[in-house]
């Protein structure tokens, strides 16, 4: 069957829209027109929150109302500081005439952003503004490569998620993202199957490895962080998979890293030492008969790890699930590199919310989300996955 040409018009429309509507331009408009803004910071004490205001107001923003989750703290701070400080419930009951709700840079706040969006109040995620200008520059500097990636996806959901990934980061509005309905890594046609030999790079506590093993795959998991490895090792025994206290890179080596839970990553100035290997070297050392599936979430080292998996990919063409969000340019360059090894790959792209049921958030933060009927998933700029088969 002849492949249908992708929607070029939609791509060009997205280019025009992000050129005219991005986070920095919105901030400039808010300052120029002196549009009243809200500020949402739900979990810190109000003193810290009030102290943060001068930085925003020195930038020319007009903070008309401060919104917090705790009614008691809001009332005490309102009395003490003489400002319009309200709880989220109070804001829902009596909203203010503001142009935008500025959200403090905490990744889990995307869930609360939905409340304001439902009230027809746009949100601007302050933590994303600093990086949105760099993302916009990357986008316009590499339009040919980005369009090549867009055009090579096999389905419309991939193209929507791909463009949404750029638009959400450039605008600092998470409502622009396009999230997938299925659980992460379980996209039909791109997931591990019974009898597969699977590699899980960046295993953390082994949850993903155990899931792959439950599907009938023979799993080899890699976790460089010694603390994470201990958690993963305990789960490996029950989950029937192999875990190695090794990082993945382009070649066997020792490297420095910083231990920070799910975000542990290689750093030249890191305080811990990791032993690393390459997928090709490990396959040869263990004399694996083949590799059918590779998942990588290695905190920005995805391209280096692919450099160390060229022989494996070229020989067996394993299905791939590669994190493509740690660096802006990864959203297009990982795909180009994989295609340079095996031009016959078919690609898909998805963006996932983070399931926080037993992960990441404190019990208090989860309880607050339940109070506002926000479920147990959080939209973030993370968890963008490039699939190949």
Domain end residue (candidates: 92, 116, 131) = 131
Contacts of 73 (CB under 8 A, 6+ apart): 45, 46
CA distances from 298 to 93, 222, 276, 281, 290 (A): 44, 10, 12, 17, 22
Q: Tell which residue, 33, 88, 93, 34, has the closest CA to residue 65.
A: 88
Give CA–CA dist 115/266, Å, rounded. 37
Q: Do 245 and 368 belong to one domain?
A: yes
Is 201 among the domain residues?
A: yes
- The beta-carbon contacts of 45-54 under 8 Å, at least 24 apart in sequence, are 45/73, 46/73, 46/74, 46/76, 46/77, 46/80, 46/81, 46/85, 47/77, 49/77, 50/77, 50/81, 50/83, 52/104
Same domain, 365 and 218: yes
Last residue of a domain, one of 131, 158, 183: 131
The DSSP result for 296-361, as a single string, is: E--TT-HHHHHHTTHHHHHHH--EEEEE--SSTTHHHHHHHHHHHH-TT--EEEEE-PEE-TTSSS
Q: Is residue 221 part of a domain?
A: yes
pLDDT given for residue 364 in this prediction: 84
- Cβ(334)–Cβ(305) below 8 Å: no
Query: What strand order describes the sheet that includes 293-296?
Result: 242-244, 218-222, 197-201, 293-296, 319-323, 384-388, 347-351
Residue 139 falls inside a structural domain: no
- Look at residue 150 and tell me if it is in a domain: no
Strand 85-87, strand 319-323: pairing: unpaired
End-to-end CA distance of the chain: 18
Q: Same domain for 352 and 220? A: yes
Please tell me whether residues 103 and 205 are part of one structural domain. no
Same domain flag for 201 and 115 = no
- The answer to whether position 120 is within a domain reads yes
Q: Are residues 300 and 224 in the same domain?
A: yes
User: Residue 104 has what DSSP assignment?
Assistant: P
pLDDT of residue 298: 95
In whole angstroms, give the CA distance from residue 70 to residue 74: 6
Q: Is there a single domain that holds both residue 362 and residue 245?
A: yes
User: How confident is the chain (389 residues) per 10-residue block, as mean pLDDT?
Assistant: 66 91 91 94 63 74 92 87 91 94 86 94 81 92 96 95 96 94 97 98 95 98 93 93 96 87 78 92 98 96 97 98 96 97 98 88 88 92 97
CATH of the domain at 287: 3.40.50.150
Q: Is residue 170 part of a domain?
A: no
191 within domain boundaries: no
CB 293 within 8 A of CB 192: yes
Residue 6 DSSP class:
P
pLDDT at 243: 97
Q: What's the number of domains the chain is made of?
A: 2
Q: What is the pLDDT of residue 353?
A: 96
Residue of 262, 199, 193 lying closest to 227 (CA atoms): 262
265-to-117, 204, 273, 385 alpha-carbon distances in Å = 34, 11, 11, 18
Q: What is the pLDDT of residue 70?
A: 87
CATH for 113: 3.40.50.720
Helix axes of 330-341 and 143-151: crossing angle, nearest 10 degrees: 60
Residue 228's φ and ψ, nearest 5 degrees, are -65, -35
* Burial call 38-56: b when 16+ CB within 10 Å, e when fewer: bbbbbbeebeebeebeeee
Q: What are phi and psi of 160, to 5 degrees?
A: -65, -45
Instruction: Domain of residue 121: give its range.
Output: 23-131
Give domain status of residue 211, yes or no: yes
Task: Please indicate, yes or no, whether residues 279 and 380 belong to a single structural domain of this protein.
Answer: yes
- Same structural domain, 125 and 204: no
Answer yes or no: do 277 and 382 share one domain.
yes
Contacts of 363 (CB under 8 A, 6+ apart): none
Indicate if 202 and 125 belong to the same structural domain: no
CA distance 127 to 106: 7
Q: Are residues 265 and 120 in the same domain?
A: no
**Domain final position from 115, 131, 147:** 131
């Amino acid at each position: 069957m002849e492949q249908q040409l992708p929607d070029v018009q939609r791509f060009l429309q997205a280019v025009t829209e992000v050129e005219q509507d991005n986070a920095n331009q919105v901030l400039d408009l808010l300052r120029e027109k002196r549009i009243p803004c809200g500020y949402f910071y739900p979990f810190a004490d109000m003193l810290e929150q009030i102290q943060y205001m001068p930085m925003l107001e020195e930038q020319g923003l007009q903070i008309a109302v401060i919104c917090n989750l705790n009614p008691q703290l809001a009332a005490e701070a309102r009395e003490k500081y003489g400002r319009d400080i309200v709880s989220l419930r109070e804001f829902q009951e009596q909203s203010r005439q503001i142009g935008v709700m500025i959200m403090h840079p905490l990744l889990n706040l995307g869930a609360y952003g939905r409340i304001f969006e439902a009230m027809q109040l746009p949100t601007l995620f302050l933590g994303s503004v600093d990086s949105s200008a760099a993302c916009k520059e990357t986008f316009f500097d590499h339009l040919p490569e980005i369009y090549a990636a867009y055009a090579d996806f096999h389905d419309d959901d991939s193209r929507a998620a791909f463009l949404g990934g750029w638009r959400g980061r450039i605008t600092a509005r998470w409502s622009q993202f396009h999230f997938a309905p299925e659980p992460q890594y379980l996209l039909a046609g791109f997931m591990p199957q019974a009898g597969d030999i699977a590699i899980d790079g960046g295993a953390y506590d082994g949850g993903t490895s155990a899931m792959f093993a439950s599907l009938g795959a023979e799993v080899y998991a890699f976790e460089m962080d010694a603390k994470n490895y201990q958690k993963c090792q305990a789960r490996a025994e029950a989950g029937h998979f192999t875990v190695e206290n090794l990082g993945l890179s382009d070649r066997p080596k020792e490297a420095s890293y910083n231990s920070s839970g799910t975000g542990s990553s290689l750093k030249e100035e890191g305080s811990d030492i990791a032993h690393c290997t390459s997928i090709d070297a490990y396959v040869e050392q263990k004399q694996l008969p083949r590799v059918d599936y590779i998942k990588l979430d290695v905190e920005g080292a995805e391209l280096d790890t692919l450099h160390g998996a060229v022989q494996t990919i070229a020989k067996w063409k394993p299905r791939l699930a590669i994190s493509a969000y740690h660096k802006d340019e990864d959203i297009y360059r990982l795909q180009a590199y994989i295609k340079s090894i095996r031009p016959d790959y078919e690609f898909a792209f998805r963006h996932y919310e983070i399931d926080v049921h037993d992960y990441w958030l404190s019990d208090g933060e989860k309880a607050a989300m339940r109070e506002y009927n926000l479920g147990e998933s959080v939209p973030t700029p993370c968890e963008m996955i490039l699939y190949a088969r």
